């Protein structure tokens, strides 16, 4: 294993972690919007 390979593996893991954090934040945003829509739909039903 060369030093360059280790650096490439670390870079890949860091990039994947960043993408995972971005996706997680977008999913939280979608979840919040769906909660608002559900609350609004329940208000209309009553």
Residue ranges per domain, the chain?
A: 1-46
Provide the terminal-to-terminal Cα distance of the chain, rounded to the nearest Å.
66
At residue 22, the pLDDT reads: 98
Burial 11-35 (b: 16+ CB within 10 A, else e): eeeeeeeeeeeeeeeeeeeeeeeee
Cα–Cα distance for residue pair 25/15, rounded to 1 Å = 16
- What pTM, to 2 d.p., does this model score? 0.69
Q: Which H or E element spans position 45?
A: helix 3-45
Mean pLDDT of successive 10-residue stretches along the chain, which has 46 residues: 87 98 98 95 84
At residue 24, the pLDDT reads: 99
Cα–Cα distance for residue pair 8/14, rounded to 1 Å = 10
């Amino acid at each position: 294993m060369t030093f360059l390979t280790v650096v490439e593996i670390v870079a890949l893991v860091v990039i994947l972690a960043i993408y995972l954090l971005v996706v997680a934040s977008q999913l939280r945003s979608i979840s919040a919007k769906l909660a608002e829509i559900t609350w609004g739909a329940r208000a209309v039903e009553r």
